[in-house]
């Protein structure tokens, strides 16, 4: 059977599993290993230069996860890293050298921005931030030394949907690589490589693991870029434990099922919020009429439970009153687990090429797998507290 023709749901169930395993277990076991033993010198020497000589280069559990993720997104190969941020920084360092120029979306995850402004700058790599909605206009910012164009779509906190094919076409015409943080859509809902991306990065911490208990990142590449990036990754000495890889594989099996419910709940809650007088724009690309909806519909096959809610005519103090008393929505960073989260955000603090203007505070919701009626009741009580503060 040609696995490239299977649907994501089927791949999620069948990739990263070997038939005929000792003991016949459904799941690839946890292979904890630093040292690998060889029966004789000849066998050992035959493996030198491969990934099969030492535990740091992986084990059957991490490899099963890498294979499943690569197959799912249509990548040549995947590399696991200890966090999403380490996947981003590793991919940037692997591809850039002193004197190179990087084009970075202004809507990028803030720690990625900090890495560009501090570490890459120290290494003589210049970053120019661009408007996430620039599309083919990116061509006007390309320089002869532009090596990487970095996208994150939808953007962190503000959820701009980027025209990935148009940006990728312009980048490739100028000989630059296209790198993308694809965490929001997961490998299930945005086929990055089919849209011109060369290097796709995920915080697996979010939906892939899906249970708020493991930090992990993944870098996926085309065949052409794989040797260079794998080589650098290996030199950095990054490795991920088999136990964590096992948990991520376990999360992966239900990824599309969970996403479907996250999206359905998020759509219900977004529609309910849109009717509240204190709510301005809803920044959820899956919602008809929301910013980026048309591009989302063109390029994505689904959404998740993460979106932004703009309030209007209310103070931050009123938002505090709403958020401080939530019973079901937890307050915390991260997202992508089964549980609902709520967070007050300040996107204006993380911009340089564009300005963020809104009629009031911006709140980020991660809609979990709870019953949406209960979540709406929690939000409704929160809005009552907000209104009491405004009065």
Ligand X SMILES: *Cc1c(COP(=O)(O)O)cnc(C)c1O
Q: Which residues are annotated as catalytic?
A: 56, 109, 181, 206
DSSP letter, residue 201: E
Minimum CB distance to ligand X smaller for 15 or for 181: 181
Secondary-structure breakdown of the chain: helix, strand, coil percentages, each rounded to the nearest 5 = 45, 15, 40
Minimum CB distance to ligand X smaller for 258 or for 385: 258
Q: Quick one: how far is CA 243 from the chain centroid? A: 21
In angstroms, the Cα distances linking 203 to 5, 123, 363 are: 26, 25, 21
Beta bridge partners of 103: 128, 149
Minimum CB distance to ligand X smaller for 251 or for 372: 251
- Least Å distance, CB 255 to ligand X, is 16
Asked if residues 205 and 334 have their Cβ atoms less than 8 Å apart, the reply is yes
Closest to 192 in 3D by CA, of 69, 89, 74:
74
- Least Å distance, CB 336 to ligand X, is 8
Minimum CB distance to ligand X smaller for 84 or for 210: 84
- Least Å distance, CB 105 to ligand X, is 11
Minimum CB distance to ligand X smaller for 109 or for 311: 109
Minimum CB distance to ligand X smaller for 40 or for 333: 333
- Least Å distance, CB 276 to ligand X, is 26
- Least Å distance, CB 341 to ligand X, is 12
Three-state SS at 277:
coil
Q: Which residue is it, tokens 């009123």?
A: 318
177-181/146-152 β-pairing = parallel
CA dist 185 and 113 (Å) reads 20
- Least Å distance, CB 345 to ligand X, is 12
Could you tell me which residues come within 8 angstroms of residue 148 by beta carbon, excluding any fewer than 6 positions away?
Answer: 92, 95, 96, 100, 102, 103, 176, 177, 178, 179
Could you tell me which residues come within 8 angstroms of residue 42 by beta carbon, excluding any fewer than 6 positions away?
Answer: none
Closest to 211 in 3D by CA, of 242, 243, 255:
255
Q: Rule CB under 6 A: which residues touch ligand X?
A: 83-85, 109, 156, 181, 183, 203, 205-206, 215, 217, 334
Instruction: Give the start-end residues of each E strand in 191-335.
Output: 199-203, 217-221, 279-283, 306-311, 330-331
Could you tell me which residues come within 8 angstroms of residue 4 by beta carbon, excluding any fewer than 6 positions away?
Answer: 74
Among all residues, whose Cβ is closest to ligand X?
84
- Least Å distance, CB 40 to ligand X, is 41
Q: How many CB atoms lie within 10 A of CB 356?
A: 15
Minimum CB distance to ligand X smaller for 113 or for 281: 113
């Amino acid at each position: 059977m040609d696995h490239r023709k299977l649907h994501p749901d089927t791949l999620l169930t069948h990739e990263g599993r070997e038939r005929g395993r000792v003991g016949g277990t459904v799941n690839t076991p946890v292979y904890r290993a630093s040292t690998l033993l060889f029966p004789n010198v000849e066998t050992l020497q035959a493996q030198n230069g491969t990934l099969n000589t030492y535990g740091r280069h992986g084990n059957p559990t991490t490899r099963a996860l890498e294979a499943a993720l690569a197959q799912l997104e249509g990548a040549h190969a995947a590399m696991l890293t200890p966090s999403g941020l380490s996947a981003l920084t590793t991919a940037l360092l692997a591809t850039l050298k002193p004197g190179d120029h990087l084009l970075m979306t202004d809507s990028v995850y803030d720690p990625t921005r900090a890495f560009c402004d501090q570490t890459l700058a120290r290494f003589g790599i210049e970053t120019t931030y661009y408007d996430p909605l620039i599309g083919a206009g990116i061509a006007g910012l390309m320089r002869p030394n532009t090596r990487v164009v970095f996208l994150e779509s939808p953007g962190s906190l503000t959820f701009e949907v980027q025209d990935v094919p148009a940006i990728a076409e312009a980048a490739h015409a100028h000989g630059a690589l296209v790198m993308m943080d694809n965490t929001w859509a997961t490998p299930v809902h945005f086929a990055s490589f089919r849209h011109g991306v060369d290097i796709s990065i995920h915080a697996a911490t979010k939906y892939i693991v899906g249970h708020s208990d493991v930090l992990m990142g993944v870098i996926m590449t085309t065949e052409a870029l794989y040797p260079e990036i794998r080589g650098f990754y290996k030199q950095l000495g990054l490795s991920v434990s088999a136990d964590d890889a096992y948990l991520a594989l376990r999360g992966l099996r239900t990824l599309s099922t969970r996403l479907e419910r996250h999206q359905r709940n998020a759509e219900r809650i977004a529609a309910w919020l849109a009717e509240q007088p204190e709510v301005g724009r809803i920044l959820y690309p899956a919602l008809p009429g929301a910013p980026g909806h048309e591009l989302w519909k063109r390029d994505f096959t689904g959404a998740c439970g993460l979106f932004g809610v703009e309030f209007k005519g209310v103070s931050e103090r009123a938002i505090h009153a709403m958020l401080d008393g939530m019973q079901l929505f937890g307050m915390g960073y991260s997202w992508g687990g089964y549980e609902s989260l709520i967070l007050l955000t300040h996107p204006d603090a993380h911009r340089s090429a564009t300005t963020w203007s809104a009629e009031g505070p911006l709140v980020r919701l991660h809609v979990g797998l709870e019953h949406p009626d209960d979540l709406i009741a929690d939000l409704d009580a929160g809005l009552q507290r907000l209104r009491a503060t405004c009065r």
